[in-house]
Chains A and B, each alone.
Chain A
Amino acid sequence: MTKTEINVDDIVSSILRTGVIVSALIVAAGGIWYLAQHGAQLPAYARFASEPSDLLSPRETLREAEHFDSQAIIMAGLLVLIATPILRVAFLVFGFALEKDWTFVGVAALVLSVLLFSIGH
């Protein structure tokens, strides 16, 4: 019987830590720029307007971020954050498959499909 060299716990831990750090750095960088541009304006959060309307999907956000729009950069950082637990579940599908634990491959795949449905919907 071959024992796998991969330590699932350590990789899960690294995925989570890396995701949070990368996301926080992008959000902070975008945030500083956002405040430099718009800091003197008045905040408008008292009434819900579902804005900015061009940042409602991951694809549009990334397109805007390519043009270095500060709000889109913050949003891209937030997308990295949202992707982090999803990536963790995707990795566990793989991790359970290595252990040939097919029941849990199914469980993890089910959770992954719920997450992808929500993001893609």
Chain B
Amino acid sequence: MTLLTFTLIVGAASLLAGLLGALTGLGGGVVIVPVLAIAMHVDLRYAMGASLVSVIATSSGAAAAYVREGFSNIRIGMFLEVATTLGAVLGAYLTSHMPKPAIGVIFGVVLLYSAWASMRGHKPGSQDAPSDPWAQKLRLEGDLPTPAGPRHYHVYHLGFGFSLMGVAGILSGLLGIGSGALKVLAMDRVMKIPFKVSSTTSNFMIGVTAAASAGLYLHRGYIDPGLAMPVMLGVLAGSLAGARILVKARVRTLRIVFSFVIAALGVQMIYEGLTGRL
């Protein structure tokens, strides 16, 4: 196989990964890494480097729209980015000191969790109790734009949410992914922020989180331009297309099917990690 053929296949796979990532809400990074590592026999470190770059592209591209529409809460995002960037630097440092099979197994577990989180969906809950006192001091509460006008929301359990964001940052740096599933968990489930705000603010934070590991990835040579090129362009195009489909179609069934695909990738990553094939 020549480099041209290889690049075209990687580009097509990245397009699909971006599409799948957008439709499941998990992001393209967590999908493209196992595809590259398992199906294309790319070294895990190159796969992670290319994925990290694509994560910055999709996050920034999508955030541009969400911020303008007023869904993302910039104050919450900025505050929690303290935890995610510090975590990401730590994760990126750890990843070069960790054996590849271990990274593969952790990656597999994250995939399984992500698949489960994506399948579970979310239940809308409104909370009337006053916000966490620190959230009040930092003025983190916001208003969700709805067809019936802005709806005010509260923010709870700031400390726990902040700690979980640190873990999300570590995983992002360790695996070269956006950790969107864990970020949404922290905001939606723990801090009780409305789902639409949680998912768009998570997306807003992902680019900055990934940029924090990018420096270390760059210096270690994880980001190979020849590989990162088709991955970044493919995932970006796929996720933009996926976002358009999401607006038009109800994708509940599709989401469940894709979640199984992601779970299967997770099992395969754990298997290849444990048997030392990665």
Q: Which A residues are within 8 Å of any B CB, using their own CB?
A: 8-10, 12-14, 16-17, 19-20, 23-24, 27-28, 30-31, 34-35, 38-43, 45-53, 55-58, 71-72, 74-75, 78, 81-82, 84-86, 88-89, 92, 103-104, 107-108, 110-111, 114-115, 117-121
Contact = CB atoms under 8 A, between A and B. Distances in A.
Contacts of A39: 2-4, 7
Nearest to B169: A114
Contacts of A74: 225-226, 228-229
Contacts, number: 196
B169 to A, nearest CB: 10
Interface string B149-184: 000000000000000000000000000000000000
Contacts of B112: none
A42 B2 contact: yes
A48 B78 contact: no
A9 B67 contact: yes
Among A10, A27, A52, the most chain B Cβ lie within 10 Å of the Cβ of: A27
Contact of B215 (A53, A81, A107, A121): A121
A110 B64 CA distance: 23
Given A117-B89, A118-B214, A81 B232 contact: yes
Nearest to B225: A74
Given A46-B42, A50-B222, 18 more contacts: A10-B68, A16-B63, A16-B207, A20-B64, A24-B233, A28-B233, A34-B229, A40-B3, A40-B4, A43-B3, A50-B221, A52-B224, A56-B220, A71-B226, A74-B228, A89-B78, A104-B138, A115-B215
Contacts of B82: 107, 110-111, 114
A84 B60 contact: yes
Contact of A92 (B74, B138, B211, B213): B74
Among B61, B70, B81, B220, the most chain A Cβ lie within 10 Å of the Cβ of: B81
A101 B227 CA distance: 43
B56 interface: yes
Contact of A42 (B1, B211, B220): B1
Interface residues of B, number: 62
Interface of A is mostly: helix
B255 interface: no
Interface string B52-91: 0100110111011101101000110011011001101100
B127 to A, nearest CB: 24
A40 B118 CA distance: 41
A121 B219 contact: yes
Interface in B191-236: 207-208, 210-216, 218-230, 232-233, 236
Contacts of A53: 221
A24 B57 contact: yes
Contacts of A88: 60, 207-208
Contact of B208 (A31, A89, A103, A120): A89
A58 B204 CA distance: 25
A57 B74 contact: no
